């Protein structure tokens, strides 16, 4: 964590909280942080604030090295609903409470040996298998694909070009939506073949939709202790989690190990073709 540069006190406002900096919060004022600081030694009402993430209207803060908050206009109600469903129907660890001995997998993945990598991936697939069985609330029985709170998807491949968004009621409508967005975004190479290339699925299942090293928390024994960032979660085609995990943007050999340990593999060449234009 980068220390905040020396400065005078400033108001506790989002514009004064750059990612990677730390401060001492005193009421509504931010004071310079000088390492090391034990929160127990601070005056009453003071707290250590660490800015973990700040992007796209979302602000993630760690308080006194003990607990984390996520706030901002970019935080969707669908994320809270997704965590509520996972907590209600499974024993998959979700961040109702975050403990300080967790370390983000993205920071340590490349330091792990093959046995540890395989173990983490197998654990993840087991957890994914569990959440796929989360039942759909009766009020969301209509759409084939929707977010955890029933709202339309904001995924770059699925978000409707029209307003208000049209529901995706079938697999064929979902494939047509991907094709529509591909053509709208200037895709030409697969203009005549993309619809046939896209995978088919008559079943939609509950899906995290953003399983990545940055969203997996593990302890020192490489046991998964939390899965974060449920804002994209909802009901998607049964291949969607697999396709999202195999996106090429993740660190090191993460995707290689996840594909190697996957209990089922799908032909996602069509998804990858569309993704070249839509991401």
CATH 3.90.1200 domain locations along the chain: 77-278
**CB neighbours of residue 70 within 10 Å:** 18
pLDDT tens for each residue of 166-210? 999 999 999 999 999 999 999 999 999 999 999 999 899 999 999
103-104/216-218 β-pairing: antiparallel
DSSP-H helix ranges across the chain: 77-89, 105-108, 114-131, 171-184, 194-197, 240-245, 254-261, 269-278
CATH number for region 77-278: 3.90.1200
pLDDT recorded at residue 103: 44
d(CA 209, CA 230): 8
Helix or strand (DSSP H, E) at 123: helix 114-131
pLDDT tens for each residue of 113-126? 999 999 999 999 99
Q: Which residues of the chain have pLDDT under 50?
A: 1-6, 97-105
pLDDT recorded at residue 81: 72
**Is residue 139 reached through a cis peptide bond, with omega within 30 degrees of 0 on the bond before it?**
no
Cβ atoms 103, 133 nearer than 8 A: no
Is the pTM higher than 0.85? The answer reads no
Paired tokens of 251 = 């660190």
pLDDT tens for each residue of 89-110? 887 776 653 333 334 446 678 8
pLDDT recorded at residue 3: 44
Tracing tokens 């996957």 back to the chain, one arrives at 262
């Amino acid at each position: 964590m980068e220390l905040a540069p020396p400065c005078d006190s400033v108001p506790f406002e989002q514009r004064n909280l750059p990612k990677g900096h730390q401060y001492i919060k005193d009421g509504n004022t931010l004071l310079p942080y000088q390492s090391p600081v034990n929160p127990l030694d601070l005056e009453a009402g003071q707290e250590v604030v660490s800015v973990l993430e700040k992007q796209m209207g979302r602000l993630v803060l760690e308080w006194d090295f003990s607990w984390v908050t996520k706030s901002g206009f970019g935080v969707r109600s669908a994320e809270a609903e997704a965590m509520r469903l996972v907590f209600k129907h499974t024993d998959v660890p979700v961040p109702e409470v975050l403990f300080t001995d967790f370390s983000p997998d993205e920071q340590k993945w490349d330091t792990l040996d093959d046995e540890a990598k395989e173990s983490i991936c197998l654990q993840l697939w087991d957890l994914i298998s569990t959440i796929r069985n989360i039942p759909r609330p009766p009020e969301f029985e209509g759409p084939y694909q929707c977010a955890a709170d029933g709202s339309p998807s904001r995924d770059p491949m699925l978000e409707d070009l029209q307003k208000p968004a049209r529901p995706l009621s079938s697999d064929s409508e979902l494939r047509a939506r991907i094709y529509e967005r591909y053509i709208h975004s200037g895709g030409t190479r697969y203009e005549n073949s993309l619809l046939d290339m896209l995978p088919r699925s008559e079943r939609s299942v509950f899906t995290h939709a953003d399983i990545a090293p940055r969203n997996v928390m593990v302890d020192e024994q490489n046991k998964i202790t939390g899965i974060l960032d449920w804002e994209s979660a909802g009901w998607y085609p049964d291949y969607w989690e697999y396709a999202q995990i195999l996106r090429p943007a993740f660190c090191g050999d993460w995707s290689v190990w996840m594909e190697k340990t996957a209990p089922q593999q799908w032909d996602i060449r069509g998804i990858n073709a569309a993704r070249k234009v839509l991401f």
